[in-house]
Amino acid sequence: MLTSQHAIAVLRSNLWPGAFAYACGKKFENIYVGWGLKYVGEVYSPPGPPLPLKEYPSGSEITELLDPSPEEEQDIKEVLEEQQAVLEETEESEDDED
């Protein structure tokens, strides 16, 4: 048996799925539980995630090498210093010619 003093009225929105309004006597409330998307006529399915990115190609410019030993590192440093000294000498000689 239904009594009007305990009856609850519930309304559901057709435009906003998940939006509900309910009332009991003079008290009422609205609630929304959804994704914030309007009804568009068909079931919404979000787009799929993008394809995973390809890894870097392996080549001579992208390879892992072992760290040089301290002796090799010192030799490389000396060679670079000699090259730098030669460059500075050539720049000085070009400045002198001008």
For 21-58, how does the pLDDT look when each residue is reduced to its tens digit (9 = 90+)?
A: 999 888 889 999 988 878 877 766 778 999 988 877 77
Q: Write down the mean pLDDT value for the chain.
A: 84
Token pair of 30, please? Answer: 């609205």
What's the rounded mean pLDDT across residues 84-98?
81
pLDDT of the residue at 75: 95
**Does residue 3 register a pLDDT over 80?**
no
Q: Is 40 exposed, middle or buried (0-12, 13-18, 19+ CB in 10 A)?
A: exposed
Contacts of 22 (CB under 8 A, 6+ apart): 8, 9, 10, 11, 28, 29, 31
Is the pLDDT reported for residue 81 higher than 70?
A: yes
18 contacts 34 by C-beta, under 8 angstroms: yes
